[in-house]
Amino acid sequence: FFKENVGKTYEDAIAFWYEENERKKDPTYKTTISSQFEYNRFTRDFFKDPNNKGKSKADAIAAWNEIKAKPGSNAYVPQKVEN
């Protein structure tokens, strides 16, 4: 907080925390995950995909390892399910 908000006080930080806590109650709210945490972003997006409803963390890890082994982006891309 302080790195991005030079000159802010602890009181400002506390107010920001309460505001952020209220935003998190909104089901459409999506936190920002920094680029160095691409695994965290991948797993969040994996479980958000309705096609993965009921899948386990082991399934997410297997999908992560599969995409990580390929060249290119490690971002989660929803797969189309054919009927």
| Dmax (CA) of the chain | 57
Between 83 and 3, residue with greater pLDDT: 3
Count other C-beta atoms under 10 Å from residue 59's C-beta. 13
Q: Number of folded domains in the chain?
A: 2
Q: Is there a single domain that holds both residue 20 and residue 40?
A: no
pLDDT tens-digit profile of 9-65? 999 999 999 998 998 898 888 887 887 899 999 999 999 999 999 999 999 999 999
Question: Do residues 80 and 45 share a domain?
Answer: yes
Residue 4 domain boundaries:
1-31
Q: Kindly state whether residues 15 and 53 are assigned to the same domain.
A: no
**Alpha carbon distance 45, 6 (integer Å):** 32
Q: Are residues 83 and 50 in the same domain?
A: yes
Q: Is residue 83 over pLDDT 80?
A: no
Do residue 19 and residue 40 come from a single domain? no
What's the CA gap between 44 and 49, in Å, rounded?
Answer: 9
One domain for residues 24 and 39: no
Verify that 24 and 57 share a domain, yes or no: no
Query: What Cα–Cα distance (Å) separates residue 73 from each residue in 43, 59, 66?
Result: 14, 19, 12
